[in-house]
């Protein structure tokens, strides 16, 4: 299992008295490697990606960053010569935890009571350290909607590596020898006051031929 911390966040940074007059005002800030919102303004909300945990939801093997792109063609997991027990094959998901914390001395109301996310992108970045050059993989865009209330966190099951991306890895010359990629998530949302929120988080994984036979 690999737990990978979010590396970016946007936060609101406008005094709430001003926000009452300028509903679309927006500020931004960066986070450190620990995924926490750095600095503080007089008031605001800090939304962060706290963790991204790749999860094999098809086989029930749980948290793992090993992504199998090559199902057993014989369909004979137990090796008895009868093709009646195929290797499980499907999409790989991720458990993504997002927090929305009010900055010190800020209360809600008048601060936003929630952040609502509306979708996300995933970009796949091959590692330069792969023994064999890994193929380019197409970025994916997903529509999804969920809400994170102030001073709370939500863990959401998001797409990670779809069947389509696995097949693209095959067709573009990906090898059975596992290749390492970084999945870069970009989450899009807005606060209760329609302030734009964009979060970025990274998770590494290996894709190739892994034995998922039970």
Q: Has residue 184 been placed in a domain?
A: yes
**Does residue 198 lie within any of the structural domains?**
yes
| In a domain? residue 90 | no
Alpha carbons 103 and 44: distance in angstroms, whole number: 6
- Beta strands 196-208 and 66-68 are parallel
Domain count, the chain: 1
Please tell me the predicted confidence (pLDDT) of residue 33: 30
Supply the range of the domain harboring residue 191: 6-69+95-208
Residue 85 pLDDT:
73
pLDDT at 61: 65
Distance of CA 12 to the CA centre of its chain: 22
Q: What is the pLDDT of residue 188?
A: 92
pLDDT in tens, 120-156: 999 999 999 999 999 999 999 999 999 999 999 999 9
Tokens 């009868």 map to which residue?
A: 82
The reply to whether 23 falls in a domain is: yes
Question: What dihedral do alpha carbons 106, 111, 117, 121 form, nearest 10°?
Answer: -60
Q: Please report the pLDDT score of residue 171 as a whole number.
A: 95
Is residue 84 in some structural domain?
no
CB contact at 8 A, 101 and 107: no
Task: Indicate whether 59 belongs to any domain.
Answer: yes
Query: Could you tell me if residue 65 is inside a domain?
Result: yes
Considering the entire predicted model, what is its pTM? 0.79
Q: Is residue 145 part of a domain?
A: yes
pLDDT along the chain (214 residues), means of 10: 38 32 26 35 72 83 86 75 75 93 78 91 96 95 95 96 95 95 94 86 94 77
């Amino acid at each position: 299992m690999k737990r990978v911390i979010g590396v970016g966040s946007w936060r609101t940074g406008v005094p709430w008295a001003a926000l009452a007059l300028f509903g679309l005002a927006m500020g931004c800030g960066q986070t450190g490697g620990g995924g926490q919102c750095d600095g503080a303004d007089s008031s605001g909300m800090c939304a962060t990606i706290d963790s991204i945990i790749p999860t094999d939801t098809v086989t029930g093997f749980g948290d793992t960053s090993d992504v199998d792109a090559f199902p057993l063609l014989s369909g004979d997991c137990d090796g008895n010569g009868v093709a009646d027990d195929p290797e499980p094959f499907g999409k790989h998901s991720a458990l993504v935890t997002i927090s929305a914390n009010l900055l010190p001395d800020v209360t809600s109301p008048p601060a936003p009571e929630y952040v609502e996310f509306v979708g996300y992108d995933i970009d796949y970045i091959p590692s330069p350290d792969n023994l064999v050059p890994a193929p380019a993989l197409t970025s994916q865009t997903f529509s999804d909607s969920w809400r994170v209330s102030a001073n709370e966190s939500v863990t959401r099951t998001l797409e990670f590596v779809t069947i389509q991306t696995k097949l693209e890895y095959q067709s573009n010359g990906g090898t059975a020898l596992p290749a390492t990629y970084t999945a870069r998530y970009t989450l899009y949302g807005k606060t209760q006051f329609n302030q734009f929120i964009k979060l970025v988080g990274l998770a590494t994984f290996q894709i190739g031929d892994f034995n998922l036979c039970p």
